[in-house]
Copies of this chain bind each other. A is one copy, B any other.
Amino acid sequence: MISDIQTIQINKEKLEKAAFILKTVAHPTRLAIIQLLDHSVSLSVNEICDRLDCEQSLISHHLINMKLRGILKSQKNGLNRYYSLKEKDVLNLIVCIENCNCNM
C-alpha cells in the first residue's frame, strides 16, 4: 500500500505511553536518582537521601512512583530497601538530551 504523504498515522495510545514515561523521568531529582543508580548496583533510600541532600519522605515518594511506573525495582534487606534501575534503557534518554542542542 502506497502511503499518502499527508497521512501520517499518529498512534494516540502509543504517544500517551511515551509521554507517561517521559513525565516520569522529567524531573531533576528523579534524573539524579537514575544517574546515581546507574553508578551502583543498588542504593538504599537513606543513601539516596544523603547523596542528594533531600528529605526522606520526598525521596521515598519519588522512588515508589518510579517503581510503580516500571523504571525502578527494589529489594528489601533488613531495615533497608534497596532500589535499582529496572530498565537501563532509560539511560539512553539522558544521553539523548545531553546530545540535544535545543538552545536555551
Q: Which residues of A contact B (CB under 8 A)?
A: 5, 8, 10, 12, 14-23, 25-28, 30-32, 35-36, 39-40, 51-52, 69-71, 86-87, 89-90, 92-94, 96-104
Q: Which residues does chain B contribute within 8 Å of A32, judged by CB atoms?
A: 10, 12, 15
Q: List 25 A-B contacts (CB under 8 A).
A: A8-B36, A8-B51, A10-B36, A10-B52, A12-B28, A15-B32, A16-B28, A18-B31, A18-B98, A19-B27, A21-B97, A21-B100, A21-B102, A21-B104, A22-B25, A22-B26, A26-B26, A69-B102, A70-B102, A87-B100, A89-B96, A90-B100, A90-B102, A93-B97, A96-B96
Instruction: Please name the residue on chain B nearest to A72 by beta carbon.
Output: B102
